[in-house]
Chain A
Amino acid sequence: ETGVTQSPTHLIKTRGQQVTLRCSSQSGHNTVSWYQQALGQGPQFIFQYYREEENGRGNFPPRFSGLQFPNYSSELNVNALELDDSALYLCASSLYGTVQETQYFGPGTRLLVL
């Protein structure tokens, strides 16, 4: 069974640039959720994708967008980067509607915006 993987592990961007982060879900899972974890804080829910459509969104602006592909992998795109976007970005996969499966997290991508 393959776990959740994320790429890249680290990334440095400058303010105003755009970034794409990638996530491969755990085998058998069909849902991917993305979280932003600022330094010293708990993760904050960005959005969830199921069947290639956004299936719930937290309090994040539209410049945070995503995609889910037929193989259930996912991308998080952030446009017009701001300094406050510097954080650890986590993705989690699960089997939709089955809390017994809960969410399994990847190791994260650490983004630094200068």
Chain B
Amino acid sequence: AQSVTQLGSHVSVSEGALVLLRCNYSSSVPPYLFWYVQYPNQGLQLLLKYTSAATLVKGINGFEAEFKKSETSFHLTKPSAHMSDAAEYFCAVSPRDNYGQNFVFGPGTRLSVLP
């Protein structure tokens, strides 16, 4: 069974500082991997996804993530945090052989950006 862990339920950074949100997955076969962002009282918005092309994936709003098979990780980074980045971030996995039928989300990391 797949699972996703996100280290740190709450991360605080200063505006302009590096953002690093951690995601590790457990799966017998490397899955498809996703990062979603959720702003207060809204649904989820796709930031980026890994589908076995380049291991470094660039997404919207300056975010990127790197797939590391040896570490079973898919950490999300952004070089310089902006106040508007404050939100909840979810890492998710989906199996390659039945995509979409069992999308598994991590518990989320709340990002706070301090002025």
Chain A residues packing against B (C-beta within 8 Å): 4, 31, 33, 35, 40-45, 48, 55-56, 58, 90, 92, 94, 96-97, 99-100, 102-108
Residue of A31, A58, A102, A106 near B102 (CB, 8 A) is A58
Residue of A94, A106, A108 near B100 (CB, 8 A) is A94
Chain B residues packing against A (C-beta within 8 Å): 4, 32, 34, 36, 42-46, 49, 51, 90, 92, 94, 98-108
Q: Are B102 and A107 in contact (CB under 8 A)?
A: no
In addition to A42-B106, A102-B34, A108-B43, 15 A-B residue pairs with Cβ atoms within 8 Å of each other are: A33-B103, A40-B108, A42-B4, A42-B92, A43-B105, A45-B102, A45-B104, A48-B101, A58-B102, A96-B100, A99-B49, A102-B46, A103-B103, A105-B44, A107-B42
How many Å lie between the Cα of A72 and that of B16 in the bound state?
A: 43
B103 contacts across to A, CB distance below 8 A: 33, 35, 43, 45, 92, 103
Q: Are B101 and A55 in contact (CB under 8 A)?
A: yes
Residue of B nearest to A9 (CB): B41
How many Å lie between the Cα of A102 and that of B43 in the bound state?
A: 15
Distance to closest chain B CB from A93 (angstroms)? 10
Residue of B90, B92, B100, B107 near A31 (CB, 8 A) is B100
How many Å lie between the Cα of A43 and that of B37 in the bound state?
A: 12
Distance to closest chain B CB from A55 (angstroms)? 6
Distance to closest chain B CB from A24 (angstroms)? 13
How many Å lie between the Cα of A97 and that of B100 in the bound state?
A: 8
B104 contacts across to A, CB distance below 8 A: 45
Given A41-B107, A42-B107, the answer on whether A56 and B102 have CB atoms closer than 8 Å is yes
How many Å lie between the Cα of A103 and that of B45 in the bound state?
A: 9
Residue of A41, A45, A92, A105 near B108 (CB, 8 A) is A41
